[in-house]
Chain A
Amino acid sequence: MAEPKQITLTIEGRQATVPEGTSMLEAAKTVGVLIPHYCYHPGLPVAGVCRMCLVEVEKAPKLAPACATAVAEGQVVHVHSEKAREARKGVLEFLLINHPLDCPICDQAGECELQDYTYQEGRNASRLRDAKRFNPVEDFGGDVVYVPNRCILCTRCVRFMDDVAHEPALNVSERGDRALVGKFEGKDLTHPWAGNVVELCPVGALLSKDHLNKARAWELDRAASICPNCTQGCNTIIETRDNVVVRMRPRANPDVNEYFMCDYGRLNYRWLNGPSRLDVPMIAGGGALVEAEWEPALRLAADTIRGRRIVALVSPSLSNEELFLLRRLIDRAGGTGVFRVRTGPEAPLDGVPDLALRADRAANVVGAELLGFSRSERPLDGLSSADVLLVADAAVGEEDAAAIDRVGAIVVLATTLSPALGRATVALPIANVAEAEGTFTNVRGRVQRFLQAKAAPGAARPGYFVISDLLDAIGGGGGFHLPAAVFDSLAAEHAEYRGLSYAALGLRGAMVTGAGQLAGGAEHRR
C-alpha cells in the first residue's frame, strides 16, 4: 500500500505533520494541543454536533468543527483565539441553561467534561431567567440509568449502540430542546457490551447502577491493569478507595480492546475484595490447619515437596511470573502442571474486529499453555498417592474430592482456601491480581502488564515471591524479589518470549513470537 500523503499545518503556533485525511482534532493531539470536545470520540463515527471543537482557521470565513474537518496543507489553526474561545463559551452556556447544576449529588462530578470545560473557560454566571426543562430519570436496564436533565445530546451512547454494538437499542427521541436519548419500552439495554455507554458519556447523564452513589471521583486511587475475567485481556483501570476496589473501567489499547470492555468483565470485580481471604500461612496441626509464621510454613512446604513428584493444579489466572516459577519448581522436583478453565458463552463486540468476551473465563490460559501447563477437564485423574498435590490458587470442588483424598500430601498457594483442601499440609497466602504486578498473555499472544492497585490482606505475599522462596528452600533457583527480574528470566528461557523485556512491554504490551500459531488460529489483527 502506498504511504499516505503527509500534510503539514500549524496549530496554535506548532507545526504538525500528519497523514492526509486526519482531522484537525487528531492532528492537534499530535502536537500536544487538546481541542475541547464532547461528541467526538476516537472509537465512534464522527457526528460533529456538539460544536464545542470549533476552531478558527486563517482565511476561512467560518469557524470549523475540528473533529469533522480534515487538515489541509499550510493551514493555520487557532484553538485559543478570541473568536474560538467565545464560540466555546457560547456552547457551554447553551449546554448549561437546562442543566440542573447538581454536581454535588452527581456521580460524574470530578470526572465530568462539562464541569472541566466550564471551569476552564465557561461563563461564571448564568443569564437564564426562565424555568429549566425537566425530564424524569429513567432506568435503561442492564447496568445503566439515564438522567436526561444532565444530558448534552452528544449522541456518543446512541452511536456506540448503532455503530459499535450493532444493536440500535438507543435513539434520539423528539426534536428541538425536547429531544432526549430514548429506548423502546420493554427493550432494555441488555447487550453484553452496553455498559460502555456509561464510560462514553462525557457528563453525568448515563450512570452505572453498580457504582451509583458509591464514591466521589477524587477519592479514588487508580492503577493500570488487565481484566482478569477472560482471555481477551482488555486493558483496564482498577479504581480503589481505602484499599477496596470500587470500579473497573476500560483503558484504551488499540491493539486489544480499543476503548471498551464488556459488562461481564466490568462488573466482575467484587471478588478482588473477597471477605474470606487466606491472609496468614496455615499449617497442619492437631487435625486442623493452624496459623503459622512464614518461615516455618515455607520450610514445611519445602519438606513436603522434596522427594515427591509434583502434580501442580494451577489457576489459569496466575501471572506468567508465577507460572514460570512454578514451572521451575515442577521441573526441579519432577512432575506435571495442569489447569482447568471455567467457560461461558462468547460475546463479541461486532463493531471491533476480534474483540469479544471469550469463552475461557480466565486471564492467562495462553500464558499457562506456553509455559507447558496442560489444560484438562479432569486434571486430577492421574494423581497417585505418592504425589504431592500443589494447588496454586486453582478452584477445587466436589468432583475433586476422591483425588484429593487419595494423594499423599497437599501444598496450597491461595487467595482463598477451599474447604475441600482442609487436608492440606500447608497453605500459603498469596496476593490476587489487584494486589501484585505481573503479566498475562492474552488469547492472541499479547503479553501485557498489570500493576498493583491495592495492598494484599494480612500476611499475604505476591505469588512469584512465595514460589521464589520455595525454590530456594528446596535448593535454589529463586532469589527473585521483583516481577521484572522474573519476567526477564522467563524471556531468556522461553523462545516465545525471547527479545521481550518487562520494561519494554510498557502499558500496551507486546506479542509473543509465533503468536499466529496459537490455538485460536490463523491471521488475527491482535
Chain B
Amino acid sequence: MGYPHKLHARETPILSKHFGDSEARSVAGWRQRGGYRALEQALSMPREEIVDLIKESGLRGRGGAGFPTGVKWSFMKPGDGKPHYLICNADESEPGTFKDREIMRWTPHAVVEGCAIASYAIGAETCYIYIRGEFTEPLRIMGDAVREAYGEGILGRNAMGSGLRIDMHIHKGAGAYICGEETAMMNSLEGRRGNPRIKPPFPAVAGVFGQPTTINNVETLAVVPLILTNGAEWYKGMSLSNPRSTGTKLFSVCGNIARPGNYEVVMGFPFREFLYDLCGGPPPGRKFKAIIPGGASVPIQTVDEAEGTLMDYEGFIAGGTMLGSGGVIVIDDAQSMVKQIARLTRFFAHESCAQCTQCREGTAWVTRILERMLAGGGTFEDLDTLLDVSENMTGKTICVLSDSCATPVVSGIRKFRHEFETLITGRRSSTVATAGV
C-alpha cells in the first residue's frame, strides 16, 4: 500500500499488506498473519519442486535486471559437494528506490522466511543479508528478526526440525552504491573493495568465497513464501498485460508528486492512472515534466511518454525506458533538467568504483561539463562532446554503472535539448577558458 498513505482501492497489497503494522514484526505476530507456514511446507518438498514452482510463477528479479528467479535458482546444483550461498541483496541504493527499506522495517520475517526457503531450494546452508550501512533501522529490525528466528528454532542447525542447517547473518554495508551490483556485493562481503567482477565465472559457478552463489533482491525473496502458499497460478494470474510480467510490484514514488510513497500494483498497471489517481498527480500549481520510472539508471521519459506506458518489464521498454528497480522519480516544471541530470551524473561519478577507464574518467568528465554549463560556461560543442563521451561510456565496461551515468545524459539531451540550449545561449558572451591541450 502507498505507505505512508492509506491503501488505495486499486492497489493489490501482497507484500505491503502489513506496512505500518508494527505487530507484524515479531515472530508471533508474523505467525498470526500466516507466516512460516510456507517455510514449513517448503522444507517438506523436494528442492526441485520449489524451483519449478517459482519458475512456473513467472517471478522475475525485482532488483533491476528482471531475470527469472526460478531459472536463476536452477543454475545451482545442490549436492555438488561444495558449500552454496544465498545472498539477500538489501543494499537498496538506486536513487528513487525505497521499497526494500519498508519491507524490512515492517515485515522482517517475510524476508527471513523467503531467505530460508530460497536457501533450502538452492542447497545453501548459509545466507547473508547484505544491508546498506545507512539503513540503521532496517538493520536493527532485521537483526532482531534473525535472532528471534534462531531462538524459535526456525534457523540454525535444525531449521524447523527439518534436520537441515540454515544459518543467516546480517552483513552491514559501509557506503557504496556499487555494492548493490551482485559481484561487487560478493567482493564486499569477502572484505574487499566493492569492485564488480568480470563474468564469467557467473555467481552460480563461482560466487562469494569462490563457491556457487545466488543473489536475490529483498522484494523477490519476500514474495516467495506467498507464492508457495498460494501457488504459481495465483501469482501468474496477477497480470494486467502479458504473461512475461507476473505478480505485483512495489513502486517507490518520489520527487515532485502529491503523495510520495510505496504503491503495490499488479504488473501492467497503467502508468497514467498510477501517477494521477494513486499518487495524486503533481504538487498544487505544478505540472509533471519528466519521469524516471525505474531508479536513476533508466532513461528519462517525458510526461507524454510516461502517460502511455504500462507498468511492467515489457511496458516500460515499449515506453523507451526500463522497469529497473521500480523507483519512480518525478520531476515537475519548476525544475531545471540540466541541473537534475548533472546531479545524477555527479551521483554516478561519486559512486564509480574506479576500475574501468570509461567509468572512472567518463562519469567525472560529463559531470564537470554539465556543472560548467550550469555555471553559464556551456557551449554547443559541449552537447556534441557529451553525447559522444556518453556513447564511449556505454556497453564497454565490467558493470553497467558507466552506462547508467550516460543514460540520463543521452535521454536528457534528446528529450530536453531546448533546456540545454537556453542555458547555453543565455550565458554572457565570454570565451570559455581552455584548459589542457
Contacts and interface: CB of A to CB of B under 8 A. Distances in A.
Interface of A: 46-52, 54, 62-63, 65, 68, 86-87, 90-91, 93-95, 97-98, 101, 125-133, 152-153, 172, 174-179
B362 interface: yes
A95 B381 CA distance: 21
Contact of A129 (B363, B364, B369, B398): B369
Given A93-B392, A98-B361, A129-B433, A177 B398 contact: no
Given A90-B392, A131-B435, A132-B435, A97 B354 contact: no
19 contacts: A49-B357, A49-B398, A62-B395, A68-B198, A94-B357, A94-B361, A97-B361, A101-B437, A126-B437, A127-B389, A129-B379, A129-B434, A130-B435, A131-B435, A132-B436, A174-B354, A176-B353, A177-B363, A179-B360
Contacts of B368: 130-131
Contact of B392 (A87, A175, A177): A87
A65 B361 contact: no
A176 B352 contact: yes
Interface in B361-377: 361-365, 368-369, 372
Contacts of B398: 48-49
Contacts of B37: none
B349 interface: yes
Given A50-B357, A94-B360, A177-B349, 11 more contacts: A52-B357, A54-B396, A94-B358, A95-B361, A126-B436, A128-B435, A130-B365, A153-B354, A172-B193, A175-B176, A176-B350
A51 B395 CA distance: 11
Given A68-B198, A176-B351, A95 B357 contact: yes
Contacts of A130: 365, 368-369, 372, 435
A153 B379 CA distance: 31
A48 B200 CA distance: 12
A46 B355 CA distance: 13
A133 B354 CA distance: 14
Contacts of A153: 354-355, 357, 360
Given A48-B398, A51-B397, A177 B364 contact: yes
B365 A97 contact: yes
Contacts of B432: 129
A63 B356 contact: no
A350 to B, nearest CB: 20
A91 B361 CA distance: 9
A176 B360 contact: yes
Nearest to A130: B368
A87 B361 contact: no
Given A126-B437, A128-B365, A130-B369, A94 B350 contact: no
B358 A51 contact: yes
B93 to A, nearest CB: 14
A175 to B, nearest CB: 5
Contacts of B193: 172, 175
Given A48-B198, A152-B357, A128 B351 contact: no
B385 interface: yes
A125 B433 CA distance: 16
Nearest to A87: B396
A152 B198 CA distance: 19
Contacts of A127: 381, 385, 389
Contact of A63 (B354, B355, B361, B395): B395
B125 interface: no
B40 interface: no
Contacts of A86: 392
A129 B354 contact: no
